[in-house]
A and B are shown apart, each in its own frame.
Chain A
Amino acid sequence: MPLPTGDVIGILADNLRLRRSVLPLSAKVATKWTEGLGLRHGGDTMLYTGMMYQLIPYIEGLVKAEIKFGDSWLAKYTGLGRKVNRVVNISAFMARPSAAERAVYDQVPINVVHLLRKAGVEFGALFEDDLYSGALAYDLGADEVLLEHARRVHAVFRKRGVKTVITIDPHTTTMLRSVYPKILEGYDIEVRSYLEVLAEKGMAPSMMLSGDVAIHDSCVFARYEGIVDEPRELLAAAGVTIRDPENTGRQTWCCGGPVESLYPAKAAANAEKRVAQLRAAAPDAVTMCPMCFVNLSSAAGDTMRFKDISQYLREAYAS
């Protein structure tokens, strides 16, 4: 029965079209991480979050609600869900993370700010104009919805005179770097992941770390963007002993996150397989994507610990 799949996609597409994000966040929530950092407004180089880290706790809340309802939460609503969503934002209503949960994810862009400053990089932020990249619309094949959204992002870059963006997560990186140039005319923004920027700077750590850490490569970083060596170089120079799981680097095993909004049970089963591989390598693991982090850490429960790579790097290079 294809209806629920279509409805979930429809709701996500409606949100992107009407509310500029798959799950609309208030400007206050989306920009909370910038508070107290004294970030410059404007300039030609921008740190760009694509709202990914801010969105994940909301998506997680949504997925928890889905699991309660069964493998497809809109089975309860079918066609009705989408009609209601046009008027009332039911997805945000269903997903309300606590301030503590949000703070875990907001910490990542904060870490990146400190790391880039330490590396001597000059940059500003777009605050409420730092829009979602449209990655989910792209993945779901909703190309018309994506195009409309990508044009909005491009218009912001033009209006604000942005020439270079420094991204954090892999999905925003690949959208802005590899997808937008194919669909937008005259798009010539230079896009670099902060891991590439930091690796190129060759900074010396101010504090040496120790211990074994299993590395989980993001499929998008490793196979779409060829980012495999940079995280390893940065961690190794900081004294971390990297343990590669059975599937690693370009042969990494996906966390299951991309199908979470449609088939949460399947996503969870896949995450458990990956957790077993990582656990066999070391009890601590490092991720580079908020989707990997949330999927793998919830599949692992308290059997192992996950940390975003920015936590290790900030401790070593910018503490």
Chain B
Amino acid sequence: MTALVNPGLAEELERSDEFNADACMNCGVCSAICPMGVDVQPRKLFRYVLLGMEDRVKAEVEPVFSCLLCKMCEENCPSGVHIAENVRTLRHHIVRTVFGIGRG
């Protein structure tokens, strides 16, 4: 499988000083306790961001927008990842680049 790689994606997303997906150590606690069973995120999604796989991030519209921003994951994350803020930052990226809202 080929993926559209945008090495600047993580940087672009770092516009929020709270975006810290690189702190994730992939332990899986967040996905295991997520009330929505959002299992692709934040773990895999953050990996996609770190690898700059923009098309994969954009293909995950439903899980990204299914997140409740309830912070249950964050409360229990051993690495202090700002999961909800990271999800919101991904939403902002998708809202602008896929839905064309908020540009100009």
Q: By DSSP majority rule, is chain B's interface helix, strand, loop, or mixed? A: helix
Number of interface residues, chain A, beta carbon within 8 A: 31
Given the complex, which residues of B lie within 8 Å of A251, measured CB to CB? 72, 75-76
Instruction: Give CA–CA (A141, B102) in the complex, Å.
Output: 10
> Contact between B62 and A13 (Cβ–Cβ < 8 Å)?
no
Instruction: Give CA–CA (A96, B98) in the complex, Å.
Output: 32
Considering only CB atoms, which chain B residue lies closest to A250 in the complex?
B75
> Contact between B101 and A266 (Cβ–Cβ < 8 Å)?
no
Given the complex, which residues of A lie within 8 Å of B102, measured CB to CB? 13, 142-145
Interface size class, chain B: 20 to 34
Considering only CB atoms, which chain A residue lies closest to B74 in the complex?
A223
A47 at the interface (CB under 8 A from B): no
Contact with A along B65-104 (1 / 0, CB 8 A): 1111111101110000000000011111111001111110
CB proximity of B76 to chain A, nearest CB, Å: 8
Instruction: Give CA–CA (A266, B38) in the complex, Å.
Output: 11
A243 at the interface (CB under 8 A from B): no
> Contact between A254 and B70 (Cβ–Cβ < 8 Å)?
yes
Q: Which residues of A contact B (CB under 8 A)?
A: 2, 5-6, 9-10, 13, 138-145, 219, 223-224, 250-254, 256-259, 262-263, 266, 270, 273
Q: Which residues of B contact A (CB under 8 A)?
A: 35-36, 58, 61-62, 65-72, 74-76, 88-95, 98-103
Given A2-B62, A5-B62, A253-B72, 14 extra CB contacts under 8 A: A2-B61, A5-B65, A6-B95, A6-B100, A140-B91, A142-B95, A143-B102, A144-B102, A223-B71, A253-B35, A254-B35, A256-B36, A259-B65, A270-B35
